[in-house]
C-alpha cells in the first residue's frame, strides 16, 4: 500500500466508531451453527438481527452522526439496492436530516417501502447506471453523499462487526465476510488485524455473477463489470470501491466466488435450521463454510477435537417476502 493509502488507513478509527454508534445499533450475537465438516467449529455473526435488518446501520449512523450543521441542512443522498438506503433513511430520521435514496427499479419492493416508511424520498431509476447518474446530479446540486462502501466513515462503522467478533472470540482462526462493494470486509479486516494480528485469516465471498472485488484485486484497482448475472441483490454493485480494493489487497487472504445456487442453498439452511430471517446475500459467507468450499490448506491438521474456528458474517435479513416463503416451503 502506498503512503497515501497508508495515511487513509491511519485515519480509519474503528474503536472511535464503536463508541459513536453505541446505543444506536445493537451488538449482535455470535451464534454456533452446525457444520457438516466435523473439523470446523462454526459461529455466525447475526447482523440479520441488527437495526434495519443489516450491518449497514453501523456505517450509516457513523456517517450521519458526524454531519456538520451545514451538511445537515443540505440533506443526504445515496444510491442503493436496498439495505444501505434503508439504513441511511433510518439514521437520517433519527438525526432529523432529510434523506434521498436513489434505487434501481428492480430493488425488492419491501426495501423500497422500508426506505419510505423511514421518511426518505425514494427515486427509482431504470438501471443501476442511471441511479448512479441521478445520485451524482443531486450531489452536484448540494446534497451530501453518504457512500454505501467507498468512504472512510462507512468503513469505520462496518468495521465494528469485526471488532465485536475479535472481542467475543479472540481464538477465532478464520473470519468469512460477504463482499458487495467492499466496505464491510475492509472494515472487518482492519479491525481483526489490529485486534488479533496475523493469527486470523480473512476471506471474502462474492457471487460468480458479480466478481468485482476479485477482478479489482487482480488489476490492483477497481474494475467496472461489463455484465452482472447474479440474482443475489446486495452483492452486485458494478465495481468494488477504491478503498476496499486497497485494504483487501493488504489484509484479505483471498476473495472466493460461489454460484447463486450455493448461496441460496445456505440461505435455506439458515432459515430452516437456525430459524432466522436471512436474505440471499446474508448467507454468502456461511455458504462457503457449510458448502465445503474453504481453502483446503486451512483444514490441514484439524480434527473434531481440535477444530478450525470459523466465524461467518450473516450480513442481512431483508429478503423479498415471496422468495423467503419459497425457501421456507422447500
Domain boundaries, the chain: 3-54+151-328, 57-145
Contact 225, 213 (CB under 8 A): no
3-54+151-328 and 57-145 share one fold:
yes
Report DSSP letters for 32-88, one per residue: EE--SSTTEEEEEEEGGGSGGGBTHHHHHHHHHTT--HHHHHH-EEEE-SSHHHHHH
166 has pLDDT over 90: yes
- Average pLDDT value for residue range 205-210: 98
Q: How many residues does the chain have?
A: 330
pLDDT for the residue numbered 2: 42
Q: Domain 3-54+151-328 classified CATH 3.40.50.1100?
A: yes
pLDDT band at 106 (very low <50, low <70, confident <90, very high): confident
Grid cell, residue 284, equals 454468502
Q: Which stretch of DSSP H or E encloses residue 24? A: none
pLDDT band at 309 (very low <50, low <70, confident <90, very high): very high
Average pLDDT of the residues of the chain: 95
Tens of pLDDT, residues 266-280: 999 999 999 999 999
330 has pLDDT over 80: no
pLDDT band at 108 (very low <50, low <70, confident <90, very high): confident
How many Å is the Cα radius of gyration of the chain?
18
Q: Domain 57-145 classified CATH 3.40.50.1100?
A: yes
pLDDT band at 7 (very low <50, low <70, confident <90, very high): low
6 has pLDDT over 70: no
Q: Return the percentage of the chain with pLDDT > 70, whole number.
A: 98
Tens of pLDDT, residues 53-98: 999 999 999 999 999 999 999 999 999 988 999 999 999 999 999 9
Q: How distant is the alpha carbon of residue 289 from its chain centre? A: 17
13 has pLDDT over 90: yes
Tens of pLDDT, residues 136-150: 999 999 999 999 999
222 has pLDDT over 50: yes
pLDDT for the residue numbered 3: 36
pLDDT for the residue numbered 303: 98
Predicted model pTM: 0.95
Amino acid at each position: 500500500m502506498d503512503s497515501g493509502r497508508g495515511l487513509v488507513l491511519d485515519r480509519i478509527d474503528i474503536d472511535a466508531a464503536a463508541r459513536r454508534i453505541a446505543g444506536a445499533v445493537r451488538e449482535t450475537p455470535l451464534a454456533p451453527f452446525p457444520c457438516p465438516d466435523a473439523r470446523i467449529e462454526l459461529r455466525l455473526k447475526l447482523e440479520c438481527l441488527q437495526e434495519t435488518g443489516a450491518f449497514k446501520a453501523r456505517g450509516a449512523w457513523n456517517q450521519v452522526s458526524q454531519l456538520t450543521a451545514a451538511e445537515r441542512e443540505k440533506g443526504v443522498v445515496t444510491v442503493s439496492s436496498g439495505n444501505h438506503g434503508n439504513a441511511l433513511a433510518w439514521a437520517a430520521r433519527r438525526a432529523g436530516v432529510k434523506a434521498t435514496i436513489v434505487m434501481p427499479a428492480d430493488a425488492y419492493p419491501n426495501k423500497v417501502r422500508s426506505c419510505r416508511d423511514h421518511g426518505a424520498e425514494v427515486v427509482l431509476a431504470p438501471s443501476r447506471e442511471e441511479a448512479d447518474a441521478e445520485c451524482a446530479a443531486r450531489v452536484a446540486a448540494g446534497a451530501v453523499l453518504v457512500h454505501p462502501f467507498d468512504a472512510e466513515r462507512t468503513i469505520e462503522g462496518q468495521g465494528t462487526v469485526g471488532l465485536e467478533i475479535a472481542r467475543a472470540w479472540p481464538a477465532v482462526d478464520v473470519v468469512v465476510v460477504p463482499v458487495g462493494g467492499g466496505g464491510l470486509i475492509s472494515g472487518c479486516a482492519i479491525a481483526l488485524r489490529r485486534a488479533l494480528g496475523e493469527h486470523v485469516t480473512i476471506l471474502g465471498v462474492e457471487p460468480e455473477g458479480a466478481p468485482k472485488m476479485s477482478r479489482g484485486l487482480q488489476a490492483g484497482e477497481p474494475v467496472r463489470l461489463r455484465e452482472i448475472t447474479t440474482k443475489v441483490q446486495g452483492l452486485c454493485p458494478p465495481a468494488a470501491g477504491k478503498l476496499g480494493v486497497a485494504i483487501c489487497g493488504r489484509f484479505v487472504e483471498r476473495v472466493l466466488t460461489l454460484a447463486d445456487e450455493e448461496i441460496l442453498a445456505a440461505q435455506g439452511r439458515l432459515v430452516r435450521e437456525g430459524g432466522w430471517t436471512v436474505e440471499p446475500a446474508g448467507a454468502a459467507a456461511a455458504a462457503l463454510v457449510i458448502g465445503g468450499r474453504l481453502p483446503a490448506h486451512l483444514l490441514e491438521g484439524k480434527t473434531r477435537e481440535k477444530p478450525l474456528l470459523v466465524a461467518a458474517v450473516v450480513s442481512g435479513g431483508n429478503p423479498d417476502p415471496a422468495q423467503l416463503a419459497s425457501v421456507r416451503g422447500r
